[in-house]
Amino acid sequence: MSKYIITTVLALLMLLSVALPASAVIQATTVEIRGSVVEGTGIQSWDASTFAGFWYDLKDNLKSETLSIQANISGRDIPENELFYNTTKQDKMLKAVENGKGLTNTELMNAFDNTGMYHPIGWQAQPYVAVKGKAKKLSKLIIEQGNSTSEKKTLTVGESWDL
């Protein structure tokens, strides 16, 4: 009899361990993004380290977006032309160059201003790339090559690899 009770209790515990996390996920309907607390007086500024709604590259510690209130305000109203959103391009080495141990393919280097760098830039919390290093022309970052084996390729003589 006790074996039957233990088996039943274990079965119920296993069922609850599966059902409870699933119900918690279903109930999460709203998400809040919080930043640092501000007193509301003086000039204020936020970046990715003080506001989670901005783009941040955790691996390379890159951030590019800032939001600032330039007026010395004492209430909840911001005067016209005193709220500024700014983003700047960052420098990041292409993995093909970084891991290439002296890769000097002139076609590759010419495509990236002879530096082997590309320029990620945050725009409204999403990663983009400054086309040819020009922050006025942005392209959505589609894929960023890393160190996984699926992102590596051995090239034969005369073969090209579109980056």
pLDDT in tens, 1-44: 577 777 777 776 676 666 655 555 566 677 777 777 777 677 88
Label residue 85 by pLDDT band (50, 70, 90): very high
Q: Look at the alpha carbons of 150, 155, 156, 158 in this order and tell me if their dihedral is positive or negative.
A: positive
Mean pLDDT of 117-128: 88
Region 58-66 average pLDDT? 91
**What is the mean predicted confidence (pLDDT) over 40-52?**
84
User: Taken in order 30, 34, 40, 44, is the CA torsion positive or negative?
Assistant: negative
Higher pLDDT, 50 or 41: 50
| CA–CA distances in Å: residue 129 to residues 89, 120, 121, 122, 136 | 8, 4, 6, 8, 10
pLDDT value, residue 64: 93
Distance in angstroms (rounded) separating the CA atoms of residues 128 and 120 = 6
Check if the beta carbon of residue 137 is closer than 8 Å to that of residue 145: no
